[in-house]
Amino acid sequence: MKKSVLTRYRVMAYVTGVLLVLLTLGVIAKYILDMNGAADFTKIIGIAHGWLYVIYLVFAFDLGSKAKWPVGKQLWVLIAGTIPTAAFFVERKVSKELESKVAETVPAGARA
């Protein structure tokens, strides 16, 4: 597996995770704290998270298929982008697991 497959998954996991945390804070500000401007913030962040989550799904599915994960594990990684902060923990676990597989596929002369 190429390192770029893991890298693009990791980037989208962080982007999706950060946007979901911001969205959660926006929803709290809008509905619980009744703050001015929270509705617009929530709308913008919600749209951004929704579109970028679709990209996250594509990259996570690509990673899972190349890593030959079972369906249950792949579903957990795909769903992690919908649970606040879960994307961070799942990304860390996936990265630790797959870094050795990525390192094995790099030719010996290309290692730094």
Nearest to 1 by CA among 111, 110, 100: 100
16 CB burial (10 A radius; 0-12, 13-18, 19+) = buried
| pTM of the model as a whole | 0.83
State the distance between the two ends of the chain, measured CA to CA, in whole angstroms: 18
Amino acid at residue number 102? V
Q: How confident is the model at residue 81 (pLDDT cuts 50, 70, 90)?
A: confident
Determine the pLDDT at residue 102.
72
Q: pLDDT by residue (tens digit) across 42-65?
A: 999 999 999 999 999 999 999 999
Question: Each residue of 23-35: pLDDT tens digit?
Answer: 999 999 989 898 8
Residue indicated by tokens 């790099």: 106
Residues in the chain, total: 112
33 — phi, psi (to 5°)?
-90, -10
Can you give the pLDDT at residue 110? 55
Task: With cut-offs at 50, 70 and 90, classify the pLDDT of residue 2.
Answer: confident
